Amino acid sequence: MKFVPHDYQREAIKRVEENNHYGLFLDMGLGKTIITLTALQDLVDRAEVTRALIIAPKSVAESTWQDEAGKWEHLDLTFSTVLGSARQRVAALARNADAYVINRENVVWLCEYYKYKLPFDMLIVDESSSFKSPSAKRFKALKKCRTCFSRIVILTGTPAPNTLMDLWAQVYLLDGGLALGRTITAYRQMYFRPDKCNGPIVYSYRLAGPEAEKQIYARLEPVCMSLKAADYLKLPPRIDRTISVELSAKALRTYQQMEKDLVLEMADEEITATSAAALSGKLLQMANGRVYSDDKGVIDIHDAKAQALSEIVEASCSPVLVFYNFKHDLDRLQNLFPDAVVLKGAEEMRDWNNGKISILLAHPASTAYGLNLQAGGHVIVWYGLNWSLELYQQANARLYRQGQDKPVIIHHLVAKKTIDEQVMRALAAKEAGQDALLEAVKARIREYGGK
């Protein structure tokens, strides 16, 4: 296939080639992969790069970069996929290739294997937001090795999935602290102020003011390119439908009683993100129709969402991509649809795109980055919701992206009078995340007479 770049893609390729460190903060569907591959091909042809290391989410590392390179006639890059057992990974590293693709979970292993002297001259971090935590082992390992690379490119569509605090670690990998400071502490002191506190313990930070946000963006402008898909792509319509699922009177009473018991157990405790997430997880499980008991058994509450999903599947004239949230949701869906296929990797992705799968079941975390599923269908059903705006946006972008030629319909199954309704409001307001989760739990506690 012949690659005819859009103007913004041509500009992005130029910037990657002309800068020894550069970030492409491009919205989902704008072609970060083909842009980077084209720049890599040019650099290899000019002998400016001999061995590139590509770090990506596992599902992306398996096939996305390799498949994308195989689609375009101007690309002649060779790849070695560094996955599998330790022996398989070592063998892959020994092969001669232009690019070595490894999953982010093996970054620490890779750095230790080479004793932190990596033999690559270019680093490409796909979905760099997975390196947003400065305390994560993968960040610390790669931080020690960043001077091994003469060129570094980071790619993401969601550089600040929760707050602008998430930018520091990613940008440090890019430029060693030139733009945002050499430490997270310095960055925090410069642009943020304590927000939620308990005495000397600070749980979260807020921007110091509107000028702080402008200053951060100004510091990033020379080293990053940021574009929104809506400004550059002519995609078919996206139709978002909220399907209110009515629980039976008995099921609603069961939900509300279990919710009350769980909430009041926490009412006398300091509500932290961890405890709020645990409670929210229980409530979301119950809204879906089942919940794990203390002994890891499964308690059935209702099947209203399963019935609603059956109606959607029956009425759909297109294959359906169903996002589930919990293992017991998957068990129920597999019993409901015996022919459904669970997305595990490259094989299922190819079968879906080739029209061999009518119902594809996926956890949003397994489709969060880089998977091209738009050829297989245009209908999404959110059977189970979650608080992560990043996962939500990334998962929807698997179908609603460049190359999609049909209207994309996204159904949200929302159990009435449950926590589902709060999650949907947060997603609609683009406020989903830890803060929205905490506020939802605290609202539940106030409702039931807690502190």
Q: In the chain, where are the structural domains located?
A: 7-231, 238-447
pLDDT of residue 195: 78
CA–CA distances in Å: residue 156 to residues 172, 225, 281, 385, 418: 15, 11, 28, 23, 33
Residue 77: the pLDDT is: 97
The reported pLDDT for the residue numbered 328 is 94
Which of 392, 394, 377, 402 lies closest to 35 in space, CA to CA?
Answer: 402
Measured distance CA(434)–CA(431) in Å, rounded? 9
pLDDT for residue 249 is more than 60: yes
Q: Given this model, what pLDDT does residue 449 score? A: 59
Place of tokens 């359906």: 320
Confidence (pLDDT) at 387:
84
- What region does 255 belong to: left with phi over 0, alpha with psi -120 to 50, or beta? alpha
- Rounded CA-CA distance 138/106 in Å is 8
The per-residue pLDDT for 210 is 82
CA–CA–CA angle 271, 292, 242 (5° rounding): 75
pLDDT of residue 46 exceeding 80: yes
Quote the pLDDT of residue 429: 75
Strands of 325-389 (E only): list them.
341-342, 359-362, 379-382
Band the pLDDT of 157: cuts 50, 70, 90: confident
pLDDT digits over 373-391, tens only? 999 999 999 999 888 888 8
Q: Is 258 helix (H, G, I), strand (E, B) or coil?
A: helix
Q: What is the pLDDT of residue 41?
A: 98
Mean pLDDT of the 394-417 span = 90
Q: Looking at the domain covering 7-231, what would its CATH class be? A: alpha beta
Residue 38: is its pLDDT beyond 90? yes
Angle, helix 434-447 to helix 249-266, in steps of 10 degrees? 100
| pLDDT at res. 368 | 61
Structure confidence at residue 146 (pLDDT): 96
Using CB atoms within 10 Å of the CB of residue 318, give its burial: 0 to 12 exposed, 13 to 18 middle, 19+ buried.
middle
| Mean pLDDT score of the chain | 88
Residues 176-201: what's their mean pLDDT?
A: 89
Identify the CA nearest to 99 among candidates 52, 139, 164, 145: 52
Backbone angles phi, psi at 339, to 5 degrees: -90, 0
Q: What's the rounded Cα separation, in Å, for the pair 106 and 341?
A: 27
Full-prediction pTM beyond 0.85?
Answer: no
Q: Does 44 or 434 have the greater pLDDT score? A: 44
CA 128 to chain centre: 10
Residue 142 has pLDDT above 80, yes or no: yes
pLDDT score of 446 more than 70 = no
Do the domains spanning 7-231 and 238-447 agree at the CATH topology level? yes
- Structure confidence at residue 436 (pLDDT): 62
What are the φ and ψ backbone dihedral angles of 72, each rounded to 5 degrees? -110, 130
Q: Look at residues 134, 136, 138 and name the one whose alpha carbon lies nearest to residue 109.
A: 138
- Give strand ranges (E) for 228-328: 238-245, 290-292, 298-300, 320-323
In sequence order, the 6+-apart residues with CB closer than 8 A to the CB of 420 are 284, 287, 385, 413, 414
Position 408 pLDDT exceeds 90 = yes
Higher local confidence (pLDDT), 110 or 435: 110
Q: In what order do the strands lie in the sheet with 224-227?
A: 79-82, 99-103, 52-56, 122-126, 151-155, 21-26, 224-227
Percentage with pLDDT > 90 across the chain: 58
pLDDT digits (tens, 9 = 90+) for 262-287: 776 655 555 454 567 778 888 899 99
Distances (CA, A) of 272 to 266, 267, 278, 365: 10, 12, 10, 23
Is the pLDDT assigned to residue 437 strictly greater than 60? no
Separation of alpha carbons 24 and 55, rounded Å:
15
Report phi then psi at 190, rounded to 5. -75, -40
Task: Measure the N-to-C terminal CA separation of the chain; round to a whole number of Å.
Answer: 63
What CATH topology corresponds to 238-447? Rossmann fold (3.40.50)
Q: Across residues 231-243, what is the average pLDDT?
A: 83
Q: How confident is the model at residue 55 (pLDDT cuts 50, 70, 90)?
A: very high
Check residue 154 and give its pLDDT.
97
pLDDT tens digits along 12-22: 999 999 999 99
Lowest mean pLDDT among 49-58, 316-325, 434-443: 434-443
What distance in Å separates the CA atoms of residue 438 and residue 85, rounded to the nearest whole number? 40
**Span 102-125, mean pLDDT?**
97
Tokens of 233: 């792509």
What's the average model confidence in pLDDT over 405-423? 92
Rg (CA), the chain: 23
Q: What is the pLDDT of residue 326?
A: 94
Closest CA to 33 of 403, 407, 408: 403
